C-alpha cells in the first residue's frame, strides 16, 4: 500500500500533471484538448499522461484515431481523500483559469 501511495504522490508532484488533472476533473478529454488547453506539444503531454496512468490515476480509451483520458475510480478515491479539495481551490488560480479559457476557445473546433 505504501508503495502505491508513494507512486500516486510522485505522479501528482508536477505542475503540468496537476494542470492536466484539473482539466480532467471536469470530465473525459482527448489528448488534443489537453495539448491546446496547456499550449504544449503532444509528446510532452503524453509523457505526463503516462506517469499519471502508471500511477493508476487516469485511464485512456481509443475513440477513432484519438486517445481520450479520464480519472479512474481509484484516482477519484485518492483525490477525494487528499487532493480533490486542492483541485477545487485551484479553480481560482490564474494559470488554471487560463487553461480553462484556452480549452473553451479550442473546444469549439475539436479535433
Q: Which pLDDT belongs to residue 21?
A: 95
Residue 108 pLDDT more than 80? no
When pLDDT is cut at 50, 70 and 90, the band that residue 68 belongs to is very high
Residue % of the chain over a pLDDT of 90 = 56
**Percent helix / strand / coil, the chain, rounded to 5:** 65, 15, 25
On whether the CB atoms of residues 87 and 100 are closer than 8 A, the answer is no
Average pLDDT, stretch 37-65?
95
Q: 21 versus 2: which is more confidently predicted?
A: 21
Query: Rounded to whole angstroms, how far apart are CA atoms 25 and 48?
Result: 16
Torsion of CA 3, 8, 43, 101, to 10 degrees: 180
Q: Which pLDDT belongs to residue 94?
A: 87
Average pLDDT, stretch 25-31?
93
68, exposed or middle or buried, with CB in 10 Å at 0-12, 13-18, 19+?
middle
Q: 89 versus 75: which is more confidently predicted?
A: 75
Strand partners, 67: 62
Q: Which pLDDT belongs to residue 28?
A: 96
Q: Which pLDDT belongs to residue 83?
A: 62
Amino acid at each position: 500500500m505504501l508503495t502505491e501511495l508513494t507512486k500516486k504522490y510522485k505522479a501528482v508532484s508536477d505542475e503540468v500533471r496537476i494542470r492536466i488533472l484539473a482539466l480532467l476533473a471536469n470530465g473525459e478529454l482527448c489528448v488534443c484538448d489537453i495539448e491546446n488547453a496547456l499550449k504544449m506539444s503532444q509528446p510532452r503531454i503524453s509523457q505526463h499522461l503516462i506517469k499519471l496512468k502508471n500511477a493508476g490515476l487516469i485511464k485512456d480509451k481509443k475513440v477513432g484515431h484519438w486517445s481520450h483520458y479520464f480519472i479512474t475510480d481509484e484516482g477519484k478515491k485518492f483525490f477525494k481523500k487528499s487532493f480533490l479539495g486542492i483541485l477545487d481551490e485551484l479553480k481560482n488560480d490564474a494559470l488554471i483559469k487560463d487553461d480553462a479559457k484556452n480549452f473553451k476557445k479550442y473546444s469549439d473546433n475539436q479535433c
